[in-house]
Amino acid sequence: MSNQPVILAIDQGTTSTRAILFSAELDILAVQQKELKLHYPHKGWVEQDAVAIWRDTLEVCRAVLEHPVGRVKPVAAIGITNQRETTILWDRKTGKPVYNAIVWQDRRTDASCRELRARGHEPMVTARTGLLFDPYFSATKIAWILDSVEGARTRAEQGELAFGTIDCYLLWHLTGGRVHATDVTNAARTLLFNIVEQQWDKDLLALFSIPAAILPEVHDNAAEFGVTDPAWFGLEIPVGGMAGDQHAALIGQRCFQPGMVKSTYGTGCFALMNIGPDFRASHHRLLTTPAYRLNGRMVYAIEGSIFIAGAAIQWLRDGLEFFRDAAASEALARSVPDSNEVYFVPAFTGLGAPYWRPDVRGMISGLSRETTRAHIVRAALEAQGYQTLDLMAAMEEDGGHQAEIIRVDGGLVANGFMCQFLADMLNRPVEVPKVTEATALGAAILAGLTAGLFAGLEATECYWQRDRVYTPQMTEIERKRLYAGWQTAIQTLLHTPGNQGALTKNCLQPHLPIKS
């Protein structure tokens, strides 16, 4: 390897904070990680210690820079990627947060979202932000802090407080309080940023009663965000890239052409399709979001989420104690020729896109005397294929593009049976990259772009290496037969009388992802 400089990616996630050193060829050289605690002070509330988030970030960065590679090679730039929507307000003079970080999973502002929806504001908000009214996004979390922390609103109006999502908060600290800025992908998750006009929206600020004085500047994803205070690493390192985690993964998977899709299978599943330079609102209650903006040119994406993916395997392991290790699910699934008509709808927390039924719960159908553990496990893995096909159909209609290939990452893609079934159901090749750290990789690419290590996004494509590809092998007849069975199962679930009762109470409330 050459003497080229390295890139430091910070990946601040919901459950951990990581620092990863990448080579200029985008290979991973060193990783440091720290677990992060979640606090649940009340039912539906989820908070994190904002001070710990910064302290952990500094610690893992320092540790990874102590790695021999970090010590001998210059760090060209830092890239930041982060759990999205999580909200922090802090004092501009001291840097002290005025309240804990309110995590994206927090539902405390449910009532205010429902009230806003009942007042008929949602179509206007969707047309400007691509989002829906939901406590998931930052705006109502900010308003809650301003109204609940004594003196916060007055101080905010007087310009004493700053708001930021995690990226922005970390940048502020890294630069020693000199820079208050974010990027378009993170700004777009606040419900305050107009992604068509690409600026903070006065009407939305008024709607949520949020003073403009607290807002950061919004930059492209690859930009000169600022330099680190020498107090932290002994020298100034430029921060050159920033993007929310799912957007960074789209970049890490090099989905640069319209129609390209990345799908991440962790606890839940998040799929993003690049839809090119034109904003399109979803007709299936998916989200429209910036994929990335470079040199002032925006590229949009359609985002869909499945609440339960790997969590179903975890449940079979821990709840039903079918096996000790998630990896054992593959051999079990392969031990039977099919699921013997068993369908497993893992709607443990409701159904997401395109059904949006928060009220329904999971179901295993088609049980008979011949059903074994293996059939149920196989059905749980097959459900990932069916759920993704449901989502893909909605994304293709909304996005106006056909997905030729799907690039996947996340813990579940270690399961070859699942990946093959996915390819069969989608009737498209499914590609697994060599470096599955797509999120951190995306941040590194953005930082490297600003540092001049790559001529442009396309110049990073040559470093994307495919580990495996799964090509469709199922006959059309079989595919249709199996999917028809899934649709019957879904329809049964949607029309279960108990569920309908719950529907009348809850149907207006869209549920959004449970894991970022």
Closest CA to 250 of 398, 17, 84, 138: 84
For ligand ADP, the closer CB: 90 or 307: 307
The token pair that represents 361 in the structure block: 């719960």
Contact pick of 70, 410, 433, 513 for ligand ADP (by CB under 6 A): 410
Between β-strands 406-409 and 261-265, what pairing exists: parallel, antiparallel or unpaired? parallel
Tell me if 327 contacts ligand ADP by CB under 6 A.
yes
We find the least distance from the C-beta atom of residue 475 to ligand ADP, in angstroms, to be: 26
Q: Applying CB under 6 A, which of residues 182, 267, 288, 305 lies at the interface with ligand ADP?
A: 267
Tell me if 310 contacts ligand ADP by CB under 6 A.
Answer: yes
Q: Which of 510, 515, 514 is nearest to 286 (CA)?
A: 510
Instruction: Give me the least distance between CB of 294 and ligand ADP, in Å please.
Output: 27
314 is a site residue for ligand ADP (CB under 6 A): yes
CA distance 137 to 86: 8
C-beta of 279 vs 348, nearer to ligand ADP: 348
Query: From the CB of residue 321, how many other CB atoms can be counted at a distance below 10 Å?
Result: 8
Amino acid at residue number 436 = T
Shortest reach from residue 364's CB to ligand ADP, in Å: 17
Closest separation in Å from C-beta 316 to ligand ADP: 9
Asked if residue 156 binds ligand ADP (CB under 6 A), the reply is: no
Instruction: Residue 11: count other Cβ atoms within 10 Å of its Cβ.
Output: 27
Residue 282 vs 329, nearer CB to ligand ADP: 329
Q: Which is nearer to ligand ADP, 155 or 511 (CB)?
A: 511
> Which residues, numbered 329-348, are part of the site for ligand ADP (CB under 6 A)?
329-330
Residue whose CB is less far from ligand ADP, 236 or 318: 318
Provide CB contacts within 8 A for 330, sequence distance 6+.
Answer: 381, 415, 416, 417, 418
33 in contact with ligand ADP (CB under 6 A): no
User: Does position 412 bind ligand ADP by CB under 6 A?
Assistant: yes
Find the helix or strand (DSSP H, E) in which 262 lies.
Answer: strand 261-265
Looking at 415, 420, 450, 499, which residue binds ligand ADP (CB under 6 A)?
Answer: 415
For 77, the token pair is 């730039």
Tell which one of 46, 311, 374, 406 touches ligand ADP (CB under 6 A): 311
Site mask, ligand ADP, residues 98-127, x = CB under 6 A? Answer: ------------------------------
411 binds ligand ADP (CB under 6 A): yes
Asked whether the CA dihedral 335, 336, 337, 338 is positive or negative, the reply is negative
Locate the DSSP E strands across 132-254.
161-164, 181-183, 193-194, 199-200, 217-219, 222-227, 238-244
Residues pairing with 466 in the sheet:
433
State the residue number with the nearest CB to ligand ADP: 411
User: In angstroms, what is the minimal distance from the CB of 252 to ligand ADP?
Assistant: 14
> Could you tell me the smallest distance in angstroms from the CB atom of residue 80 to ligand ADP?
18
Quick one: three-class SS letters along 468-504? Answer: EEECCCCCHHHHHHHHHHHHHHHHHHHCCHHHHHHHH
Q: How far is the CB of 228 from ligand ADP (least distance, A)?
A: 27
Nearest to ligand ADP of 130, 244 (CB atom): 244
Please, what's the largest Cα pairwise distance for the chain? Answer: 70
Which residues are registered as beta bridge partners of 348?
Answer: 350
Residues 237-266 that bind ligand ADP (CB under 6 A): 266
Q: Does 38 bind ligand ADP (CB under 6 A)?
A: no
Q: Report the C-alpha gap between 4 and 23 in whole angstroms.
A: 8
CB-wise, 260 or 311, nearer to ligand ADP?
Answer: 311
Work out whether 439 is an interface residue with ligand ADP (CB under 6 A).
Answer: no
Q: Give the span between the Cα atoms of 198 and 175, in whole angstroms.
A: 25
* C-alpha–C-alpha distance, residues 345 and 338, integer Å: 16
Whether omega for the bond prior to residue 211 falls within 30 degrees of 0, making it cis, is: no
Q: How far is the CB of 328 from ligand ADP (least distance, A)?
A: 8
Whole-angstrom distance, CA of residue 362 vs CA of residue 340: 19
12 touches ligand ADP by CB under 6 A: no
Report the interface residues with ligand ADP, using CB under 6 A: 266-267, 310-311, 313-314, 326-327, 329-330, 410-412, 414-415, 515
